[in-house]
Amino acid sequence: MQNTTKVELRTPTILQAALPLLALILMLALSVYFYGEDSSYGPNQIALWVAAGVALAIGFYNKVSWEQIEDGIKEGISVALGALLIILAVGSLIGTWLLAGTVPSMIYFGLELLNPSWFYAATALICAIISLAIGSSWTTAATIGVALMGVAAGMDLSPAITAGAVVSGAYFGDKMSPLSDTTNLAPAVAGTELFAHIRYMAYTAGPAFIITLIIFVFLGFNADNSVSLLELERMQLELRNTFNIGWVMLVPLLVLLYLAATRKPALPTVFFGALLGGVWALIFQPEMVSKLAGGDTSVVATVKVVWTALSDGVTIETGSADLDDLLSGGGMSSMLNTVWLILSAMTFGAIMEKLGLLQRLISGMLGYVKSLGSLIAATLFTCFGANVLTADQYMAIVLPGRMYREEFERRGLDPRLLSRTLEDSATLTSALIPWNTCGAFMMGALGVSPWIYAPFAFFNWITPLIALFYAYTGIRILRLPAPKSAT
């Protein structure tokens, strides 16, 4: 007869719970030290696996079987599978929207908004539009952000305020974009749906960004109106020379927004948007498609270009290195590193959760968490602390998300509240920390230290404050419907 005796898990000590996290912090610190902004492209994944190995050793020491741990890993990874599929579809969408002129048109019309009399506000708005279109705060800052820093220098405007405007706009667009990996990751960890998560984030991100724009308008009153914006005009000219620019190119975006607004499922919505982008490219960008096909205008050749955009993205040559970086990329293959990182993070978090290590870490903290406000405050602070200690925004989303998910459920709170709180702190505060990969990247791209621009990255610290205000006042707090009593 098979032995079905269940092995009881030993209660881990606080030291055992802390060891894997300390190992992760040490490994991530070394990763950033050795590899800098490239640490997210492999080294951080290895750091996660090593830290997971430390947790695994503790589990074996506590007499936990591999089968139990393996089941926990499978359960943990399954939480993120929906988000991973969406992220792959997002890669395809970026590729075809670049090819179709959808993203170039959004950039072009965004540059139309720039006016020296309200330069800082316009900078934030332009970066928000572009980041929303491409789903990447890093790419936005490294391309149009760099150009705007140059314009600010020519106007003798504050580089610190300009960098703060770039970061504010880039992170607002990234946070609200269904193309962003962090925007997909947060609802996956919390257990909610992508577009529901984005709609709920608007209650904190929307007011915060409006306040941010108002502050930048006041700060920009003394801007010099006589300075020519030749660099940005050059970018617009190169966009017109490379693509057919027009409002009709925004139809794929409008269709995607409509499907999201009518609460269609995220995965088929995003991939349909990618396919529609491919059709739009064939109809409205025949010259670009033909150029990428080597001058071949046959049906087979043009379809292969679209197919390649879906799988491997596009490489656009405009004659400008900045624009080439901004307009090239996409494809499912471009998301494989992100998928690798998320799988590694979810594996580490799942092992920590299965062994009771996460619960041990937060049990003492939750003893002091009585009210809803204190729970949200603890989550916000933990996300910020994870950004400081692990130097990675993915860790700051996954670890607190795994730690607090059960407590949110126990209190009858909608998972959208957790996913929004994760983004309000983990995503946004990452760029304010100099040694975090996001802060280090922004410093390298913009040439201004986070120590200098952080006070002017208004959106990134006003949003957590609004989230905290909502928590203590009960505004926009979603709860799960009460279970129906049995009759």
Q: Mean pLDDT, the chain, as a whole number?
A: 83
pLDDT tens digits for range 104-121: 887 787 677 666 678 899
pLDDT tens string 387-426: 876 667 887 888 888 888 888 888 889 999 999 999 999 9
pLDDT digits (tens, 9 = 90+) for 293-318: 998 889 999 999 999 999 999 998 87
Global model pTM greater than 0.75: no
Q: If we measure between CA atoms, which residue out of 282, 239, 291 comes closest to residue 109?
A: 239
Residue 289 confidence (pLDDT): 93
Percentage of the chain beyond pLDDT 90 is 30
